[in-house]
Structure 1
C-alpha cells in the first residue's frame, strides 16, 4: 500500500500512563472537542467510545501519513499522556 496517497485510518486509544491524574477529565474533554472540530472540517468521519473499555476510537480521512502525524501531535490527551495510541489501522 502507498500511504502517501489519501486514505482513511482507524485510531484506537486506550488508557495512558497519566490515566489516574486529577486532570484526566480536562484532557479527555479537550480531546473530544479537538476531534469534533476536525470532524466539522471533514478530517474525522467517526468518533466514539469502544464497547470493551475506556478509551476512544477515531476514524480520520488524511491526505498522507504526514498529515496523520500532524493530527496526532495536536491531540490533547496524547500530549497529556492520559490516553495512548495503541493501534492505527490504515485502509483505502
Structure 2
C-alpha cells in the first residue's frame, strides 16, 4: 500500500479549455510552461510534454507529500486563470 504522506511521484494530465482570447491563452500557457520549467530546475519535475496532436500536456512530479502536490497545483498559472484544467492526477511509486 502506498502512503502518500511520504515522497512519491504523480503524473498530471492537463487539457486546454476552449480559447476565449487566443493571445491571453497563449501568454498564460507560456507562464504554465515556465512554472513547470522552474520546478524542473528545482528537481520537482521529472519529465513533461505535449500529447501528440491534442491540446493536452502531462507533467511527472516528485513530491514529498500530498500537501506539496496541492501547493504546486494551486499555484499553476493556467489553472488559476481557468485556461486549462487538471483532468487526471495519477500517483505512483517507482520500484
TM range (shorter): over 0.9
Where does 1:6-85 land on structure 2 (aligned, <5 Å)? Answer: 6-16=7-17, 19-22=18-21, 23-85=24-86
1:36-70 CA-to-partner distances (Å, cap 9, x unmatched) read 00000000011110125102100000000000000
Aligned equivalents of 1:38 and 1:15: distance in 2? Answer: 20
Aligned equivalents of 1:60 and 1:39: distance in 2? Answer: 9
Aligned equivalents of 2:91 and 2:53: distance in 1? Answer: 21
Structure 1 stretches of at least 4 aligned residues deviating more than 6 Å after TM superposition: none
Instruction: Give the structure with higher Rg (CA).
Output: 2
Q: Which runs of 5+ in 2 are unaligned?
A: none
Aligned equivalents of 1:71 and 1:85: distance in 2? Answer: 12
Q: CA RMSD in A?
A: 1.0
Q: Which runs of 5+ in 1 are unaligned?
A: none
TM-score by length of 2: 0.90
TM-score by length of 1: 0.93
